[in-house]
């Protein structure tokens, strides 16, 4: 019996151990799945601050991707021009058939008489060649000297720099638009929060007034007015939500984010960057740098016009093979092929081309003057834009501070009116007026906060520091 008991005991503990192992594996699988699900949800709902949005934009913006493709195309076109100075090798095959008469060569009377072996009364026509003719070969051309070649290398370097500046300008413009829209959405979300808070207050007040109407302490008219006010506020909330949805969809489009992805924004109310802008200085904006590089490119192109006045030297070689047959049997054995190989040099010396080069030079001088004038105008314009941005920031910050004080005052007035209403010393409509004043003050403060952020963005752009927001 003890043995049997020990056997049953061992079987029981073995089964229990096996079941425990299965449960442990199942629990581990469920835990892993839940952990992955939680991590996935938390990543999907991760909030984007301004820097996150800008980094995402630089990596995914369709506009920037399109600009990069344009830049690659223009760079390839420049190297295509450079390739014209490399060896050019062409092979060719030319077959023709004289299906009627052969070509005829006319010999003068004297030579014709000799060929005919008798005196002739005039020129002597002689058919030449065979019906089937095949010419094949290889042609090689190589430029030895061309002044345009020496001007191409610095032109390629400057053109690459010019393309890089254009791409940086496109990045800056897209980042400015994304940051602008980011703050519009963020401030509208703040406004939406104000409306939600006011709706909750009004709903709570509805319950109180409804009870007062039932007990005869308030008029039905007051309750109806409260319902109308709540309905209007809810309508404003719905419109604001719709506007935020449109802005978020457009923000995703500019960032290159799929519309199905969730985008939650994290808004810093204190400031845009670590810089307080008290010592902001105007810097050289990218557009000015691009204009300078464009002027440099134009001057290099103008020098290339002078290259047309220099001689050009080109070497060429040709390996030619010719065959003539009475029948179409060029691949037949024991048939003759005639080789004609040659090489040579070709020197082109420009002498006169009408007034073409003179006209091109005059046009080049006019374009250079336009670029110089445009650069000076852009410098003056950037100075005005920077000064206006600094002035706008000062006004916006003063307005934001003033409106913040108004909000604090409106909150105190609202609390006093709420207490007075609860004590029965204030009419409902007067209390609702204080609530509307508080809401309006917060909306105006949000607008002032948005104006401040936009003014800061303009200063960063005017001082050439907009991309610093990416690394914050």
Residues 123 and 106: their CA atoms lie apart, in Å, by 6
The percentage of residues in the chain with a pLDDT greater than 90, rounded to a whole number, is 21
The answer on pLDDT for 41 being more than 50 is: no
Q: What is the per-residue pLDDT across 364-418, written as a single tens digit (0 to 9) for each?
A: 888 888 888 888 888 888 888 888 888 888 888 899 899 899 999 999 998 898 8
The answer on pLDDT for 49 being more than 80 is: yes
Instruction: Tokens 């978020």: give the residue.
Output: 248
Residues 167 and 290: their CA atoms lie apart, in Å, by 10
* Average per-residue pLDDT for the chain: 81
Would you tell me how many other CB atoms lie within 10 Å of the CB of residue 449? Answer: 22
Q: What is the per-residue pLDDT across 133-151, written as a single tens digit (0 to 9) for each?
A: 999 999 999 988 887 777 6
Q: Which whole number is the average pLDDT over 323-349?
A: 87
Would you tell me how many other CB atoms lie within 10 Å of the CB of residue 69? Answer: 10
The answer on pLDDT for 167 being more than 80 is: yes
Q: How do 264-265 and 47-48 pair as beta strands? A: parallel
Q: Where are the beta strands (DSSP E) in 104-206?
A: 104-107, 124-127, 132-145
Query: Picking from 86-90, 187-191, 278-282, which range would have the lowest pLDDT averaged per residue?
Result: 278-282
Query: What confidence category does residue 463 fall into, taking pLDDT thresholds of 50, 70 and 90?
Result: confident
Residues 281 and 168: their CA atoms lie apart, in Å, by 21
Q: What is the pLDDT of residue 282?
A: 61
Residues 378 and 394: their CA atoms lie apart, in Å, by 24
Q: What is the pLDDT of residue 17?
A: 42
The answer on pLDDT for 37 being more than 70 is: no
- Is 362 or 276 the better-scoring residue by pLDDT? 362
The answer on pLDDT for 231 being more than 50 is: yes
Instruction: Tokens 């980042």: give the residue.
Output: 175
Residues 199 and 227: their CA atoms lie apart, in Å, by 11
Residues 238 and 54: their CA atoms lie apart, in Å, by 29
Q: What is the pTM of this model?
A: 0.69
For 293, the token pair is 């590089």
Q: Which whole number is the average pLDDT over 43-47?
A: 57
Q: Which of 34-43, 231-240, 277-286, 303-312 has the highest mean pLDDT?
A: 231-240
Q: What is the per-residue pLDDT across 416-431, written as a single tens digit (0 to 9) for each?
A: 988 888 888 888 888 8
Q: What is the per-residue pLDDT across 61-116, written as a single tens digit (0 to 9) for each?
A: 999 999 889 888 888 887 777 777 888 999 999 999 988 888 888 888 888 788 77
**Using an 8 Å Cβ cutoff, are 264 and 45 in contact?**
yes
The answer on pLDDT for 29 being more than 80 is: no
The answer on pLDDT for 256 being more than 80 is: yes
Q: What is the pLDDT of residue 2?
A: 37
Query: Picking from 40-44, 187-191, 319-323, 421-425, which range would have the lowest pLDDT averaged per residue?
Result: 40-44
Long-range Cβ contacts of 366-375 (<8 Å, 24+ apart): 367/298, 368/295, 368/298, 368/299, 368/302, 371/291, 371/294, 371/295, 371/298, 372/295, 374/291, 375/288, 375/291, 375/292, 375/295
């Amino acid at each position: 019996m003890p043995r049997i008991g020990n056997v049953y005991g061992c079987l029981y503990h073995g089964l229990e151990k096996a079941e425990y192992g299965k449960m442990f594996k199942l629990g581990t699988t469920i835990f892993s799945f839940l952990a992955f699900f939680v991590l996935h949800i938390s990543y999907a709902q991760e909030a984007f601050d301004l820097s996150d949005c800008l980094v995402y934009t630089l990596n995914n913006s369709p506009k920037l991707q399109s600009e990069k493709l344009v830049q690659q195309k223009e760079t390839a076109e420049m190297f295509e021009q450079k390739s014209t100075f490399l060896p050019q090798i062409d092979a060719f095959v030319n077959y023709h058939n004289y299906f009627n008469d052969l070509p005829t060569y006319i010999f003068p009377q004297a030579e014709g008489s000799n060929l005919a072996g008798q005196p002739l009364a005039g020129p002597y026509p002689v058919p030449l060649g065979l019906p089937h003719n095949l010419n094949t070969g290889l042609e090689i051309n190589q430029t030895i000297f061309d002044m345009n070649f020496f001007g191409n290398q610095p032109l390629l370097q400057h053109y690459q720099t010019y393309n890089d500046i254009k791409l940086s300008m496109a990045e800056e413009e897209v980042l400015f638009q994304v940051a602008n829209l980011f703050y519009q959405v963020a401030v509208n979300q703040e406004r939406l929060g104000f409306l939600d808070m006011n709706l909750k207050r009004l709903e709570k007040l509805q319950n109180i007034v409804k009870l007062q109407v039932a007990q005869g302490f308030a008029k039905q008219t007051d309750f109806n007015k409260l319902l109308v006010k709540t309905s209007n506020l809810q309508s404003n909330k719905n419109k604001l939500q719709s506007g935020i949805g449109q802005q978020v969809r457009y923000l995703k489009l500019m960032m290159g984010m799929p519309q199905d992805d969730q985008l939650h924004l994290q808004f810093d109310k204190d400031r845009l960057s670590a810089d307080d802008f008290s010592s902001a200085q105007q810097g050289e904006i990218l557009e000015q740098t691009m204009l300078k590089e464009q002027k440099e490119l134009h001057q290099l192109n103008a020098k290339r016009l002078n290259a047309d006045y220099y001689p050009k030297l080109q070497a060429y070689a040709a390996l030619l093979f010719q065959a003539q047959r009475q029948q179409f049997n060029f691949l037949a054995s024991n048939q003759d092929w005639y080789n004609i190989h040659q090489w040579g040099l070709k020197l082109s010396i420009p002498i006169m081309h009408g007034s073409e080069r003179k006209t091109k030079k005059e046009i080049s001088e006019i374009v250079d003057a336009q670029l110089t004038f445009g650069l000076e105008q852009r410098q003056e314009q950037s100075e005005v834009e920077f000064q206006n941005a600094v002035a706008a920031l000062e006004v916006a910050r003063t307005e934001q501070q003033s409106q913040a004080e108004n909000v604090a005052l409106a909150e105190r007035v609202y609390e006093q009116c709420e207490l007075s209403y609860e004590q029965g010393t204030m009419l409902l409509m007067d209390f609702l007026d204080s609530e509307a004043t508080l809401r309006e003050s917060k909306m105006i403060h949000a607008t002032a906060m948005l104006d401040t952020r936009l003014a800061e963005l303009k200063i960063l752009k005017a001082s050439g520091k907009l991309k610093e927001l990416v690394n914050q």
